[in-house]
């Protein structure tokens, strides 16, 4: 599940070539900006945040510096782009974001 609060006063337009990391997220693309994720929505941008913790089952790869996946700053932690979604370390497993 995701919440989508509107990001007020966002003058920058995200899209191909905007300079921010693009992150596929379900049926849309999020852009990493100022430590959080933005998505286009009805003429404005929302902050796209996951709610809850959906554990990624059977994940044997360990993410970290040099793991080969794009690191995405996300609030107080780092997510890693892997297989079309973001993984976040959570205890002894990874969550899908």
pLDDT tens, residue by residue, 23-71: 877 788 888 877 777 777 777 777 776 666 677 777 788 888 899 988 8
Q: Is the full-model pTM beyond 0.75?
A: no
Q: In what order do the strands lie in the sheet containing 36-41?
A: 22-25, 28-33, 36-41, 44-47
Structure tokens at 7: 């990001």
Q: Once rounded to an integer, what is the mean pLDDT over residues 1-5?
A: 49
User: Would you say 73 and 32 are in contact if contact means Cβ atoms under 8 Å apart?
Assistant: yes
What local confidence, expressed as pLDDT, does residue 1 receive? 42
Rounded CA gap, 76 and 78, in Å? 7
Confidence bin at 75 (pLDDT 50/70/90): confident
């Amino acid at each position: 599940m995701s919440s989508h609060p509107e990001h007020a006063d966002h003058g920058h337009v995200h899209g191909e070539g905007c300079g921010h990391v693009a992150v596929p997220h379900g049926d849309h693309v999020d852009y990493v900006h100022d430590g959080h994720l933005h998505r286009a929505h009805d003429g404005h941008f929302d902050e796209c945040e996951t709610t809850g913790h959906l554990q990624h089952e059977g994940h044997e790869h360990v993410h970290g510096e040099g793991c080969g996946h794009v690191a995405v700053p996300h609030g107080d932690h780092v997510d890693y782009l892997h297989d079309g979604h973001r993984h976040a370390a959570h205890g002894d497993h990874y969550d899908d974001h």
